[in-house]
A and B are shown apart, each in its own frame.
Chain A
């Protein structure tokens, strides 16, 4: 199982947990597993046609999966996935 780091805005869905383990051979499968664990999390991250929303970046280790193979990027158990929506706070 790979490790998924959740941003503050998704932690209300995970009951405050910010790092979870999730099964999956690809980024898409990991998101599916996450969605089973925390229903509706996927709808926050993907567009209606199933693409990663443009206000969210998903990193496999330190690389944006858009520059890998997107949702079909293979994931290993030792990998860390960082989900990072845009954040605007400054004050």
Chain B
């Protein structure tokens, strides 16, 4: 190292405060306001960092630190690999008005050698950086959001009209695990709307057919296939494995089953249904918004509830509504935007008209109301004597 550099380093060290790994650990444990700033290069960060640190490379320190730490009174511990770059970074931060900054002497290496904990960041592979580049460019998603999507586990109930667009777009978005439950087989009459299936897969299980389409689209997605009907017997084996549920079923029995177990296990449900030219959807967030029983405590009699195989459906309708479901699912995973919880969104395809209605939690709801006994309701399902409508609470 040059003489001037050594002189500058010595001089700068005299102008700033340093701390060692043990003192820094004490500080971090005792003061939650302290922020750790890692000023190393990305390749160094990717190799491991101190838990809780925020990465602001030295070269971007001046331009990014005010966005990262807006309050200049925030106590900061700055570190690099060996404790040299952080000395200069600390001085810069002082000059920018941060008044409580210390440099970690010995840096990351000293911290690690002293036996303190480090973590390795999850990162996208080069192939993933390329595949998800349009997500990464959106600040609300970014690399961190894409990692959330890849870590997410979404259960699709039904691989039919609503399930097909959900499966395609959630897989394309990089949802890491997609469970698909459907015990139907592909029929020719499905192909007018269930676009994930193909002519050559007629007769195959829809769950298998969807898995094949996804395998051809995105190898990042682990598809878990369930060629069975969702019942009170198997739902507790399946549902708890997932972060959220996309309900694309075609019957009330399954909808109430899904609702009640989702309330029990506190899983968000992206609910939608379609008929003819009309679709409707909402997001059900257990205890944070209405559940399905809050909206409709009882299912209608058969005469008032034709399904698509009886009343027909415009082929594009499940596409429109299914993609609105996928949008809700992705927002829910990322924790961004406003969900449809508490709002019923209706779509009339003929008029090209959306209507939004308010939904409220029902204090008398038998699943999530003030006096509800969800465990008892679950037991009723298991005994097979849950009556739809479910038994009323006295």
- The closest CB in chain A to the CB of B206 belongs to A91
B20 within 8 A of A: no
- The closest CB in chain A to the CB of B360 belongs to A67
B250 within 8 A of A: yes
Residues of A in contact, count (CB < 8 Å): 24
Q: Which residues of A contact B346 (CB under 8 A)?
A: 82, 84
B278 within 8 A of A: yes
Measured in the bound complex, the distance between the Cα atoms of B392 and A78 in whole Å is: 37
Are A90 and B300 in contact, CB atoms less than 8 angstroms apart? no
Question: Quick one: given A7-B278, A90-B248, are A64 and B308 in contact (CB under 8 Å)?
Answer: no
Are A88 and B357 in contact, CB atoms less than 8 angstroms apart? no
Closest beta carbon of chain B to A44's beta carbon, Å: 6
- The closest CB in chain A to the CB of B348 belongs to A18
Q: Which residues of B contact A56 (CB under 8 A)?
A: 300
Question: Quick one: given A54-B389, A59-B357, are A88 and B252 in contact (CB under 8 Å)?
Answer: yes
Are A8 and B298 in contact, CB atoms less than 8 angstroms apart? no
Q: Which residues of A contact B251 (CB under 8 A)?
A: 88
Name the contact of B247 in the complex, choosing from A64, A85, A90 (C-beta under 8 A): A90
Selected interface stretch from B37-45, B78-86, B98-106, B157-165? B157-165
Are B158 and A91 in contact, CB atoms less than 8 angstroms apart? yes
Name the contact of B161 in the complex, choosing from A7, A84, A91 (C-beta under 8 A): A91
- The closest CB in chain A to the CB of B350 belongs to A18
Selected interface stretch from B8-16, B226-234, B267-275? B267-275
The residues in A between 47 and 72 inclusive whose CB is less than 8 angstroms from any CB of B are 53-57, 59, 62-64, 67
Closest beta carbon of chain B to A56's beta carbon, Å: 7
A17 within 8 A of B: no
Q: Which residues of A contact B311 (CB under 8 A)?
A: 8, 89
B249 within 8 A of A: yes
Question: Quick one: given A59-B357, A82-B357, are A88 and B160 in contact (CB under 8 Å)?
Answer: no
Are B358 and A55 in contact, CB atoms less than 8 angstroms apart? no
Measured in the bound complex, the distance between the Cα atoms of B304 and A53 in whole Å is: 12
B327 within 8 A of A: no
Q: Which residues of A contact B276 (CB under 8 A)?
A: 8
Measured in the bound complex, the distance between the Cα atoms of B306 and A63 in whole Å is: 26
Q: Which residues of A contact B306 (CB under 8 A)?
A: 9, 89
Closest beta carbon of chain B to A82's beta carbon, Å: 7
B307 within 8 A of A: yes
Measured in the bound complex, the distance between the Cα atoms of B184 and A87 in whole Å is: 21
- The closest CB in chain A to the CB of B301 belongs to A55
Are A87 and B305 in contact, CB atoms less than 8 angstroms apart? yes
Contact bitstring B286-318, A, C-beta under 8 A = 1, else 0? 000000000111111100111111010100001
Q: Which residues of A contact B313 (CB under 8 A)?
A: 89
B201 within 8 A of A: no
Are B304 and A63 in contact, CB atoms less than 8 angstroms apart? no
Measured in the bound complex, the distance between the Cα atoms of B308 and A82 in whole Å is: 22
Identify 11 new A-B residue pairs, CB closer than 8 A, beyond the known A9-B304, A90-B248.
A8-B275, A54-B296, A55-B296, A55-B298, A63-B358, A88-B273, A89-B306, A90-B160, A90-B163, A90-B318, A91-B160
Show 14 residue pairs from A and B whose CB-CB distance is below 8 angstroms, ordered by the A residue: A8-B277, A54-B296, A55-B305, A64-B360, A86-B299, A87-B305, A88-B250, A88-B251, A88-B273, A89-B161, A89-B274, A91-B160, A91-B161, A91-B194
